């Protein structure tokens, strides 16, 4: 997993006989699969569900100071992105590869208010005030 803690994250898988070689291959693969993630202050902009294979994940925004409430593989992804306050739950399969892919899928589907306003073709105030 590769991340700059500023909203960019990538994942990769490397296989080799030596651990160090496998890690190097995984990092090279991760750098080829980078995803830009929308981060609102220190949390996610809205609730989001996603699935990959048998793994299902749920992300929910949290108040500042809450911390990253998530399991192992999800925690690594969220910290790599730079999200510091989030409530997350992994459901279904606990296979770390699928949990990572489901988490990145959920983060990639996140949209901020400006993107929603542009897509709908309305003013930003209309998004919040209906």
Q: Is residue 129 part of a domain?
A: no
Q: How confident is the model at residue 124 (pLDDT cuts 50, 70, 90)?
A: confident
Q: Is residue 12 part of a domain?
A: yes
Domain count across the chain: 1
Residue 112 pLDDT: 87
Cβ partners under 8 Å of residue 8, min gap 6: 34, 35, 36, 37, 81
- Residue 35 sits in a domain of what CATH number? 3.30.230.10
* DSSP per residue, 30-66: HHHSEEE---BTTB-SS-EEEEETTEEEEEEE--TT-
Express each pLDDT in 36-88 by its tens digit: 999 988 999 999 999 999 999 999 999 999 999 998 899 999 999 999 999 99
Distance between start and end Cα atoms, the chain: 39
Range of the domain at 41: 2-116
Express each pLDDT in 24-40 by its tens digit: 999 999 999 999 999 98
Q: Is residue 122 part of a domain?
A: no
Q: Is pLDDT at 125 greater than 90 in this prediction?
A: no
88: left (phi over 0), alpha (psi -120 to 50) or beta: beta
- Cα 129 to the center of its chain, rounded Å: 28
């Amino acid at each position: 997993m590769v991340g700059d803690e500023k909203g960019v994250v990538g994942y990769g898988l490397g296989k080799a006989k030596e651990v160090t070689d496998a890690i190097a291959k995984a990092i090279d693969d991760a750098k080829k699969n980078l995803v830009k993630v929308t981060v609102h202050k220190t949390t996610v902009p809205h609730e989001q569900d996603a699935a990959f294979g048998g793994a299902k994940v749920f992300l929910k925004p949290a108040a500042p100071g809450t911390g990253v409430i998530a399991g192992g593989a999800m925690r690594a992804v969220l910290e790599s992105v730079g999200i510091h306050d989030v409530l997350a739950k992994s459901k279904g399969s606990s296979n770390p590869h699928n949990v990572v892919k489901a988490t990145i899928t959920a983060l990639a589907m996140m949209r901020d208010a400006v993107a929603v306003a542009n897509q709908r073709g309305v003013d930003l105030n209309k998004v919040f005030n209906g």
